[in-house]
Amino acid sequence: MYLKSLKLINYRNYDEEYLNFNKNINLLLGKNGQGKTNILEAIYLLSIGKSFRTNKDKDLIKFDKKNSYVGGLFEKGKEENIIEIVIGRDSKKGVKINKISIKKISQLLGNLNVVIFSPEDLKLVKEGPKERRKFIDREISQIIPLYYNYILNYNKILFQRNKLLKSNYIDKNLLDIYDEKLSDYGSYIYLYRRDFVKKIDTLARLIHKKLTDEIEELNIKYINQININVDDTYGDIKYKFLKKLKSNKIIDIQNKTTKIGPHRDDISIFINSLDVRLYGSQGQQRTASISLKLSEIELIKEEIGEYPILLLDDIFSELDQKRQQLLVDSFENVQIFITSAEDSHKRIFKNKEVNIFYVEEGRAIY
């Protein structure tokens, strides 16, 4: 899988830009604030349907324009496909795949698979559980688009349940209905997360051994409140979740919020049996984060039969020279887009096939 070309019209600081890419390495060089990350953001938009930098689509429109367009031609499974997204200030976002409009973002997911790695991802290990849940949800949704709908529906019911818990009068029958629906969607989320964490635990452990010359062993554990077993079925999980919701009902009413559920999940990351978040050095935390991100790439390859596109946003400025080289040398047959403000970073790609784009004031010159 690789992105052949990208067309931008009135996107961020770009008026109109058409770029052709190398199927291996594409390096975007330029000073900060010139538009390098905007290109990565546009590619991510084609994959996920939203930005990784803002929740407001209108932020993607050039400040003095009414509409923004992003189009990407890509090859997957030896077939050419095109995704086009139009964002308007006064209209809903429109998405087309091969010239056919789609109604739901879940229909977009899984078409163009992308993994992004930014300086924020280096904080994945030491930040709070919300960031790790976001990491899990984003990757499962790419592999299993239906999962995205489970998350949307779960959050909708969770919001309604919490609203009821905050009200002056609590309808117990309505609360029971919410519990049933929450356990429906939540149990699927638990199931997919459990299996996902199990897979990335195996992959990340192998990758981490390679990155640390087999000195360190990485382990990842799925943390949830209902003690899911490795062989639990959907029915088993739903029974446990619903039972926990009911037993916790008085506490939820007192606290006016839902204390039990996958919205409280986390993953624990260990190096040589020690919690790296608590006891790991900064270097160990960063290497563990790299191992997690690389495991995403390998998992997508296992699941869909092709490597995803890798976006590296200013990541080299955060890594020492050894980790820079290890990161680049870890990939074969992966299309990579890299942003950097340092011209000296070209040395990392010696003897590799690379296209270099010089980005300045909303223009990318090859």
Residue 287 marked as a ligand binder: no
- What is the DSSP pairing of strand 94-97 with strand 79-88? antiparallel
Check: CB of residue 42 under 8 Å from CB of residue 83. no
Residue 32 marked as a ligand binder: yes
Give the chain's domains with CATH numbers: 1-113+307-366 (3.40.50.300), 122-305 (1.20.1050.90)
Report residue 81: phi and psi, to 5°. Answer: -140, 155
For residue 329, what pLDDT is reported?
Answer: 80
Residue 181 marked as a ligand binder: no
Half-sphere exposure (Cβ direction) of 257: Cα atoms closer than 13 Å: 4
Q: How far does Cα 304 stand from its chain's mean position? A: 16
Residue 142 marked as a ligand binder: no
pLDDT in tens, 285-315: 988 998 998 899 999 999 999 999 999 999 8
Residue 36 marked as a ligand binder: yes
pTM of the entire structure? 0.92
For residue 347, what pLDDT is reported?
Answer: 85
Residue 92 marked as a ligand binder: no
For residue 357, what pLDDT is reported?
Answer: 96
For residue 286, what pLDDT is reported?
Answer: 87
For residue 203, what pLDDT is reported?
Answer: 96
Q: Which regions in the chain score pLDDT beneath 50?
A: none
For residue 333, what pLDDT is reported?
Answer: 84
| 218-223 β-sheet, strand order | 218-223, 266-271, 274-275
For residue 316, what pLDDT is reported?
Answer: 86
- What is the DSSP pairing of strand 114-117 with strand 309-313? parallel
For residue 325, what pLDDT is reported?
Answer: 81
Start-to-end Cα distance in the chain: 22
Check: CB of residue 84 under 8 Å from CB of residue 22. no
Task: Match 């992966």 to its residue by tokens.
Answer: 334
* Residues β-bridged to residue 117: 312
Q: How far does Cα 279 stand from its chain's mean position? A: 26
For residue 167, what pLDDT is reported?
Answer: 95
